[in-house]
Structure 1
Amino acid sequence: MLDHLNSERITQTAAIKRSLHGNRAKCLQRLIRLGMPVPETVALSIPLVRAIAAGQRPDLKAILDQFGSWPVLSVRASPVEPDWGGPSTMLNIGMNRANQAFFASRLGAEAAAELHLRFVRSYAVDVARLDEDMFEDPDLTVKQAYDAYEDEMDEEFPQDIEVQLLEVLKSMSRAWEGTTARLLRSSKGAPEDAGLGLVIQRMVLGLGKGESGAGVIQFINSESGEPQKVGRYMRQSQGRDALDYTSGDDGQGPLYLTKDNRGGSLEEEQPEVFAELERVGQLARKGLREEMQIEFTLEGGKLAIIDAIPAPRGARGDVAVAVALAQDEIISTEDAVMRIEPKAISELLHRQVAPRARRDVISRGIAASPGAATGKLVFDALAAQAAASQGEACILVRRETSPEDIRGMHAASGILTERGGTTSHAAVIARGLGLPCVAGASDLTIDNKGRKVTTQSGRVFAEGDIITLDGTAGEALAGDVPKIEAGIGGPFEQLMSWADAVRDIGVRANADTPEDAQVAKMFDAEGIGLCRTEHMFFAADRLTVLREAIFAENSTDRNAALKRLRPMQRDDFALIFEIMRDRPVCLRLFDPPLHEFLPNSRAGIRELAEAMDLSANAVRARIEQLAEFNPMLGMRGVRLGITIPEIYDMQVRAIFEAAILVNRSKGPTVVPEIMIPLVSAKREVELVKTRIDAVAAEVSAQSGKTVEYKLGVMVETPRAALRAGDIAVHASFLSFGTNDMTQMTYGLSRDDAGRFMSTYVNQGVFPEDPFRALDRDGVGELLTLASERGRQVREKITLSVCGEHGGDPDSIEFCREIGMNYVSCSPYRVPVARLAAAQLAIRAPEDVDEDINYEI
């Protein structure tokens, strides 16, 4: 006997704990405390269930004594977290020949035989593991079911309830310990040693005389979270039969719960029962502080509440319910903020593939940017622009994208790449634009010349074929798949206002264009933490002028070309300053290597040759001259600013002129933040600062206006992090570009790492993809050292992260721990960051009373 592991009758005062008996057991106790008509229930603790799985026998007599003379029971799984799953419910345990006769006199012969047959079928399939095909015949009798069981098992069907119950408990406990179940719950975040509790309950039969049946009801719309009575009820049924029933002409289909034009309803035919269900629903909402889906059974017109789970819903419903509960003062606003998973917020900001839509998956890759879009396949930027000009949605598919594809990416509805990961060029740009992106779809073979892609299974999709991109799931789907629209509205805005009231770290946006700035402001970013100014050059008219500057042989010619670019940049900067008037704007000076702005196709070279009145060979020779073996570690960032200073001179002049222009109108004074990229040494900052100061003095003299600005550094190299104290002498802020810093610290290409990263994570080399979640041990140590050394020199220096890690909740937690002032991320990730930051600021008590924990 397992005296120290005995079962526990669930009563108002029983010592039931979620951590010991599981979620369902604790929920049932709460329903009992609220005075609901819950049948007698016994909870088996997690240690007891483990002992049963190991082959030990529980005190079955003690368990059965809790139910008196009632001969039929059910067993349900009770994991600690409801979404961890568990073995299927077993009903009607105890049915045998004797009990069939007993229930025949009580319920009628037909109902009694149905009860008996249901149990034999489920026991044979779920406990004895026999082939379910043997028991599927709708005309099967109890005798035939017994015969089939006995033929396969070489023994009679067990008639003793103790034997039946023991075998059910052993089967369910061992199923939980199986490899498949372990992998499934592990994928849902369950720890390796997650345990299972079980609850044994007196059966309310749902069959027989009078109004008998079973159903479920909830009081919200699962998609929107708005109030709505939803559910189904089925006469002469048990458990969740009403939900499982799909079709049939037998006249036994489920009744709808509420009055409408669809036919019969429980509300019309049993108004008193329906009124009681409404009362129970409101009682559960207030008492459990949650919108619940309630499972109920009627037997002879008498209502029994069998179970309750949080009403199933998506992110939009979660937000609406949490806000409504807080507004009704059932939970606090802080509780409402804590209930929403930050990453789920992304689902509200973009269209999504409809949850029940048929999915014909043609490729799987990395979910690089969330959302869903449908369009025809195109294979280059020109085709994407042509489609957009005709009002046709398109999906741009590339092996990998480059800055040359920017115009096509702006024109496309979604982006699919064969290579890359979460911080690849395609991913970063797509998140900034709010486009769905699937990167690293290595199971596709792209034929640019033939304008087609071939899937791993051999299916071919040509240019013009329609596909749907699911950036949230990381899948490409054939055809036009139904979608649901973004869900930003009143509840979302209310939740975010509560979040902003408690968070203690700032959240800015990475925004490269006026359009990006508008989105950032819409999502209430506190400013722009990173404006990659080179992205403004990709419009056709600007790109040609920039190429002229790149091709210039001397400073005079280069300045002539850049002088034509300056008004364009000035106008963009002025518009961004105007949009973000009361919020800071940090502008990163030109960063990428020059070769990224030069064509690499034959057509592109010919086009540039015509524009510059040069031969194609001369253009090709110049491109080859500028080529580098490892451009990401070559002539880029501050190195360009020092060796070709005219580019930075033009940019800072445009910045100062734009600020003066905007400051002429009433409103907060614009003080630009100018950031130098890819710094490694103090002297680099000194050289660039000297030229910026000279341009500032010149602009001030010409305009008669004082030019104010803040100078900072983008810390991307390990050396810059280690020498942050030296660099801080000339910098009022340090902004950590964690994308490049991760790349340089690990010696990994962020565009290529996707090919093997999943293998590394699965085999425990890295706990997580370091481009997805900030590496605290390596990159994090560099950030910590840099922050400490920067503050030693300049106590009030502003510190931030402006890489894509700025939108990751775990990374934000680290930034907050080391005292950073703000994080900056793509505009569409700003709400995620705001909510995550708020949750970090809300202190959860160490020991939460389970009776007031909103998690059921």
Structure 2
Amino acid sequence: MPKFVYDFTEGNKDLKDLLGGKGANLAEMTNLGLPVPPGFTITTEACRAYLSRGVLPDGLDEEITRHLTALEEKMGKRLGQPDDPLLVSVRSGAKFSMPGMMETVLNIGLNDESVHGLAKQAGGDERFAWDSYRRLIQMFGKTVLGIGDGRFEEEFDRVKGSRQDYEVTADELRGIVETFKDIVRQETGGDFPTDPREQMDMAIKAVFESWNAPRAVLYRRQERIPADLGTAVTVCTMVFGNCGMDSGTGVAFTRDPGSGRQGVYGDYLQNAQGEDVVAGIRNTLPLQRLEEIDPASYRELLSIMEKLENHYRDLCDIEFTIERGKLWMLQTRVGKRTPAAAFRIATQLVDQGLIDMDEAVRRVNGEQLANLMFPRFDDGAEKTLIATGMNASPGAAVGKAVFSSERAVELAARGEDVILVRRETNPDDLGGMIAARGVLTSRGGKTSHAAVVARGMGKTCVCGAEELDVSPAEHRFTAPGGIVVNEGDVISIDGTTGAVYLGEVPVVDSPVVEYFETGAVADELVGAVDRVMKHADRVRRMGVRANADTPDDAARARRFGAQGIGLCRTEHMFLGERRRLVEDLILAEDDEGRRAALEALQPLQEADFIEILAAMDGLPVTIRLLDPPLHEFLPDMVDLSVKVATGEGTEKDEALLAAVKRLHEQNPMLGLRGVRLGLVVPGLFAMQVRAIARATKARRDAGGDPRPEIMIPLVGAVQELELVREEAEAILREVGVDALVGTMIEVPRAALTAGQIAEAAEFFSFGTNDLTQMTWGFSRDDVEAAFFPAYMDLGVFGVSPFETLDRDGVGRLMRLAVEEGRKTRPGLKLGICGEHGGDPESVRFCHGIGLDYVSCSPFRVPVARLEAARAALFEGRGAG
């Protein structure tokens, strides 16, 4: 039979899986000889058994009885003993900290008899005893009996009036207790339980059940905490901070969790219990005031804080109570901190000799680094909030509202800051998005085109601000309250919160981005980032490349530490003025016309490649041949139809409309695109390969070191790749240059037949955007807004599969492709170029399956560098 209950003298901080964070750390502090009230912990295994069966597991009740009896013997009193009661708290304590998400009940053991014994214990302090009793009924009623806390609060506030809690008299509290018992009777149809053991047993079950409370489920989903862990329960002897002004309760941090600076940080509240501090119902004192109030306890607390920080080798968050001048430690844990504090503390602890740089890199993460890279609004500035949308891409952006990409480009060229405002964006808006300081849409979500592209560029974006009525034709939008913002009016958007403000809000730039751009170490924080990143680059195994389509993007990626380009999308080179050449290609009626269009495109592509190869000189550049269907380069069918129908269209418009209708597809994602285009449109891929080859030769002749890699998209069968590769290699030989030829693994069949495809491919690059869509069987653009929010609420998704790799489905296909591909070709180069390449959790997965590199947007390169190092370090330590 498993052991379900552990005394605080058993266990240690490494048993969080079994004892939860609270129980494990109480055991650790007890082992250190710190003043911890005696108690015991009921394990997470017991919780899981209870939640699965609905009853306590066999043997648990007897174990609780044995430990309670031992506790009573140690304290010399029984639970709820009328003349001298032992009282206990029952608290939740999961493996991962979930502050405020689950339940606590204090003062268990009080009833109409033992309340008098408690007053006697307290030297006749009737007020203290009745205050403790009313707290028990209130917390028990809310947590165990499910009574809305408002019922109790309203009654207590009615009696208290404008006074402080501690000014309510003993007689008034006695009356409040009776009223609270009446509330219990009215709400439940029964009396408040007076048997101490029944109180404790009911509270334990309630804490177990709080694991599945809606707020706990939501918190776990947001924090990606597994749902099957369960919570432990600690049963701890009560110590009282509400015994008078020589008592109190507080929270302390061993250093500032906001900045990381060393010092005394925390709050203290005299004559109060711990819940009063957490609930914020009374104004607390700075922890430093404790030195004046109780110098002896203050000195002891500082000594304990130093001991705990040195023992845990980290910032510690501490809860304590002082009972009539006696200090008690109720909890400690490694404290949560801001991203800036995380980096500062990690390097401070290295300097103190408490940890090494390997551990410092483990202590920070990519999301914290990304947070430090985004600009932000000045917290102290005045702001006029007019709408709120989804916080799609963090940062702060200020500029004139513009309603077309063309206008954004025009004003930005004059040196003006603009915010591109659209109902939603599409690929034609890329120029405007690049030019704008930020993007605001009234439709779409976190995986919409605007959100994905903005995140990739490190551009601030707020999506789905449905309160806004955007009218591009009238160059304005209307916000709630009739506020109209016309083109040229200044607005400010906060991609971290989703807020939209009227007018200019001051923005604070990120010195961390300046560091990555220039290498300048501006302050202590940047110095900490610099130390962490340099060590990360020394220890990581996996390379980091960038997704970059322009020379500027390539150059920036290199400054940010990219080791090459993992995805250069050639379709972006066909936009703007070059679209007419693509139109000519599509409208060509014979081989001669098609050849003329391709010959006009080739030198333009060649010039693009020369610049990109120069920016990445000496590093690999993976160039993807044309992927999207041709109709995306043609005008909109509705617009053309209107022009032709009204007689305003030209002959070319009529020809374009016929081409649009001919190329129209019900499901373009699964239609004529990628390698299929290269096989059915003669000369298209050959033109691109020749442009790559000639650009490579030009760079080599100029003394450069170009290293192109040609990637064939959407391959599903090895025969497709063999045909294109044969044509490509002939062109490379003709020009006299070398380049690897490989493929993007983005359809499930490619993953399933990777062993065959590796016979013709020198590298694989996983295109996880399309691989996710095709594996799940949905189009991101169509379904994200339609049902993703519902799927999140229902728990089908813990996180969007477009944000973090779906390990069980997409990840399994990737793992299979890696194994079979390398079995066929042991030296096969493997990477990922989907947007997941910049997601921390996905980077760690890619390391685990043995990829050689990840590729992501230039802005996310530092994040991927850090996470690749952390993956290597955790693997070396045997952790996941």
**TM-score, normalized by length of structure 1?**
0.80
> Is 1:23 aligned to residue 48 of structure 2?
no
**Closer, same or farther: CA 240–491 of 1 in aligned 2, 3 Å:** farther
**Closer, same or farther: CA 530–167 of 1 in aligned 2, 3 Å:** closer
- Local SS of the residue matching 1:131: helix
Q: Mean alpha-carbon deviation: is it higher for 812-821 or for 556-565?
A: 556-565
Correspondent of 2:102 among 81, 86, 97: 86
Aligned position for 1:261: none
Aligned position for 1:739: 769
Cα shift at 1:549: 6.0
Q: Mean alpha-carbon deviation: is it higher for 491-500 or for 163-172?
A: 163-172
Question: How do 1:290-309 residues align onto structure 2 when only pairs under 5 Å count?
Answer: 290-309=314-333
Partner Cα separation in structure 1 for residue 878 and residue 827 of structure 2: 37
- 8 A Cα contact 2:23 2:232, kept in partner: no
Q: Mean alpha-carbon deviation: is it higher for 568-577 or for 419-428?
A: 419-428
Partner Cα separation in structure 2 for residue 737 and residue 126 of structure 1: 49
Question: How do 1:2-13 residues align onto structure 2 when only pairs under 5 Å count?
Answer: 8-11=6-9
Aligned position for 1:825: 856
Partner Cα separation in structure 1 for residue 802 and residue 280 of structure 2: 46
Cα shift at 1:493: 3.9
> Is 1:133 aligned to residue 149 of structure 2?
no
Correspondent of 1:346 among 370, 376, 400: 370
- Local SS of the residue matching 2:123: helix
Partner Cα separation in structure 2 for residue 639 and residue 845 of structure 1: 43
**Closer, same or farther: CA 270–602 of 1 in aligned 2, 3 Å:** same
Cα shift at 1:531: 0.5
- 8 A Cα contact 2:847 2:872, kept in partner: no
Partner Cα separation in structure 1 for residue 91 and residue 254 of structure 2: 24
Aligned position for 1:586: 622
Q: Deviations over 1:37-91 (max 9, x none)?
A: 3333333445667779848695355543333357454443222322273203525
Over aligned residue pairs, what C-alpha RMSD do you find?
Answer: 4.8
Partner Cα separation in structure 2 for residue 720 and residue 19 of structure 1: 40
- 8 A Cα contact 2:586 2:659, kept in partner: no
Aligned position for 1:284: 308
- 8 A Cα contact 1:28 1:38, kept in partner: yes
Question: How do 1:253-402 residues align onto structure 2 when only pairs under 5 Å count?
Answer: 253-258=283-288, 265-267=289-291, 273-340=297-364, 342-343=366-367, 345-351=369-375, 369-371=393-395, 373=397, 378-386=402-410, 388=412, 389=414, 391-399=416-424, 401-402=425-426
The one-letter amino acid paired with 2:103 is: P
**Closer, same or farther: CA 301–571 of 1 in aligned 2, 3 Å:** farther
> Is 1:574 aligned to residue 610 of structure 2?
yes
Partner Cα separation in structure 2 for residue 229 and residue 377 of structure 1: 46
Aligned position for 1:67: 75
Cα shift at 1:288: 1.8
Question: How do 1:153-552 residues align onto structure 2 when only pairs under 5 Å count?
Answer: 153=184, 165=200, 168-169=203-204, 171-176=206-211, 181=216, 185=220, 188=223, 189-192=225-228, 194-205=230-241, 207-208=243-244, 210=246, 212-239=247-274, 241-242=276-277, 244-245=279-280, 253-258=283-288, 265-267=289-291, 273-340=297-364, 342-343=366-367, 345-351=369-375, 369-371=393-395, 373=397, 378-386=402-410, 388=412, 389=414, 391-399=416-424, 401-416=425-440, 425-437=449-461, 448-449=472-473, 475=498, 477=500, 486=510, 488=512, 489-538=526-575, 540-543=576-579
- 8 A Cα contact 2:128 2:242, kept in partner: no
- Local SS of the residue matching 1:83: coil
User: In percent, how many aligned pairs have the same letter?
Assistant: 36
Q: Deviations over 1:745-775 (max 9, x none)?
A: 5553232132234556776878875544545
Aligned position for 2:651: 618
> Structure 2, unaligned stretches of length 5 or more?
78-83, 162-167, 513-525
Correspondent of 1:676 among 698, 706, 712: 712
Partner Cα separation in structure 1 for residue 640 and residue 621 of structure 2: 34
Partner Cα separation in structure 1 for residue 590 and residue 507 of structure 2: 55
- 8 A Cα contact 1:415 1:430, kept in partner: yes
- 8 A Cα contact 1:342 1:833, kept in partner: yes
Aligned residues between the structures: 817
Q: Mean alpha-carbon deviation: is it higher for 650-659 or for 585-594?
A: 650-659
Cα shift at 1:514: 2.1
- 8 A Cα contact 1:533 1:589, kept in partner: yes
- 8 A Cα contact 2:805 2:842, kept in partner: yes
- 8 A Cα contact 1:6 1:44, kept in partner: yes
The one-letter amino acid paired with 1:600 is: D
Partner Cα separation in structure 2 for residue 190 and residue 780 of structure 1: 18
Q: Deviations over 1:270-310 (max 9, x none)?
A: 66654443332221112123211222333454433232233
Q: Mean alpha-carbon deviation: is it higher for 382-391 or for 440-449?
A: 440-449
Cα shift at 1:370: 4.6
**Closer, same or farther: CA 120–758 of 1 in aligned 2, 3 Å:** closer
Cα shift at 1:532: 0.7
Q: Mean alpha-carbon deviation: is it higher for 69-78 or for 446-455?
A: 446-455
The one-letter amino acid paired with 1:311 is: G
Correspondent of 1:105 among 98, 111, 123: 123
Cα shift at 1:629: 1.9
The one-letter amino acid paired with 2:714 is: L
Cα shift at 1:787: 4.8
Partner Cα separation in structure 1 for residue 308 and residue 378 of structure 2: 29
Aligned position for 1:597: 633
Cα shift at 1:530: 0.7
**Closer, same or farther: CA 461–496 of 1 in aligned 2, 3 Å:** farther
Q: Mean alpha-carbon deviation: is it higher for 526-535 or for 9-18?
A: 9-18
The one-letter amino acid paired with 1:520 is: A
- Local SS of the residue matching 1:494: helix
**Closer, same or farther: CA 553–424 of 1 in aligned 2, 3 Å:** farther
Aligned position for 1:710: 740
Correspondent of 2:178 among 137, 147, 167: 147
